[in-house]
Structure 1
């Protein structure tokens, strides 16, 4: 049996989401701070969940900077520190269940296990989107996420973008794998609908075969060919080819067809009245006087 499309899609999207979330969790790029008055113009600070890095165009990036404003004690940062690793752990568990359910080494997949892995991956996507969305909501709020006052500006870092993409991919992959519950539910329902042993099974209409008798031909329908009737094909044998048709009525004779000379014996005063008369007026065929 080939692997269903929903399973293949889930197995592709879930590892991509895991990789993006791992990068977003470890990289110090959740927030970009720049525009310091007493610092070089090109100075930028990248703040993440675990580190703060200083970067200039003329110098290499220097990480491990001191937290002067109490950034790591902010509530969104603390929540993200707990939920992002939890999302990674749940994603790994979901991928393990998916690998066992999709059965790369078995003939048929385990639909129930694959559907359960989809639910786990969907939960992992939610665990990653919650801290990312919360952090982005308070990004410019200096009372929640401390930073220097204006003219210092804060911007969205690349880690937030990667976190959003990773969470969405986990949601899509988990939903796709969760669709594997459909064949499993169908099999369970099919098993419940089976009749108990000993119960007579009713035959369906599609299995009933009725042998209808061959209808007799109407009296007006005959096998007619070359002016004479022919027997039925069953009487002639399988080699005979029947011709079915209607008998054509013969034409009646013309009303005034007269094969006898109508002038002979037309009257008694005729000079030739001594001849035997073969035709008299009043016969069935018309005389000259009828015309």
Structure 2
């Protein structure tokens, strides 16, 4: 930003450099990209962790030497001696349907985040891909939409798991040994979903700002007329003007002809 002041006047004029809006847009895009990237990392960690459900210490389970934890891919047992024993789920069809759906949704969320990161990198102004082209803004918008979809998929999964855990916990017909609490991976999934949604919104907002600054299609300059088939290197010839002497002779001859014409008075 430049401040121009006149010596003879007190008022000063502010002039904004044309590079300042570009730098601000680049900073906003970087912020949205890193928020979405953090959400992607958190979603991957939450998907791999086995702490989606942990043993509820209620009733006879208040004092116990073991703790059970269930995740999307494995089930672990923690002993009071500090030893962890984990076992992967061997059969896919034997798993509950909610667990299968949670697996699919989290994997789809991670894949969508990867796609969003790749598209956003190609559309950001700080990269050399298609620099100066009108494709930049749609690419950033597509990356933001992909981050929004990834955040929604992760949010649906953790919300579904939270609802199942709470419903089972308050079920009076379920034994206390089979009740679980919400694990740390679920809270991490909530945080990852919020980061992905925030990053997607920021990227979409930056893309809408770029489109508003672009001049409308109607105001674009019309294409220039096509060049002629050939160019004449010689200057055009001046228009022809008859000499003054020739003009006087023509005028005199006309007058003499009019005076020597046949008249009726000459024969009377």
TM-score normalised by structure 1 residue count: 0.58
2:120 and 2:111 map into 1 onto residues whose CA distance is 14
Which residue matches 1:2?
A: 23
Task: Pick from 132, 137, 142 the counterpart of residue 116 of structure 1.
Answer: 142
Structure 1 segment 260-275 matched on structure 2, within 5 A = none
Task: Pick from 80, 83, 88 the counterpart of residue 105 of structure 2.
Answer: 83
Closer, same or farther: CA 164–71 of 1 in aligned 2, 3 Å: farther
Listed as ranges, the gaps of 5+ residues in structure 1 are 199-291
Counterpart contact for 1:125–1:168, Cα < 8 Å: yes
1:48 and 1:30 map into 2 onto residues whose CA distance is 5
Residue 55 of structure 1 aligns to a residue whose secondary structure is strand
1:154 aligns with 2:180: yes
What is the Cα deviation at residue 15 of structure 1? 1.1
Residue 58 of structure 1 aligns to a residue whose secondary structure is coil
2:37 and 2:112 map into 1 onto residues whose CA distance is 12
Counterpart contact for 1:72–1:78, Cα < 8 Å: no
Which residue matches 2:258?
A: none
Which residue matches 2:257?
A: none
Listed as ranges, the gaps of 5+ residues in structure 2 are 1-21, 225-268
Residue 64 of structure 1 aligns to a residue whose secondary structure is strand
2:195 and 2:68 map into 1 onto residues whose CA distance is 29
Structure 1 segment 1-291 matched on structure 2, within 5 A = 1-2=22-23, 4=25, 5-35=27-57, 41-64=64-87, 73-106=95-128, 110-142=136-168, 149-150=175-176, 152-187=178-213, 189-194=215-220, 196=222
Counterpart contact for 1:34–1:45, Cα < 8 Å: no
Residue 217 of structure 2 aligns to a residue whose secondary structure is helix
2:93 and 2:118 map into 1 onto residues whose CA distance is 36
Larger Rg: 1
Higher relative contact order (CA 8 A, sep 6+): 2
Q: How many aligned residue pairs are there?
A: 194
Aligned CA RMSD, in angstroms, stands at: 3.3
Counterpart contact for 1:16–1:169, Cα < 8 Å: yes
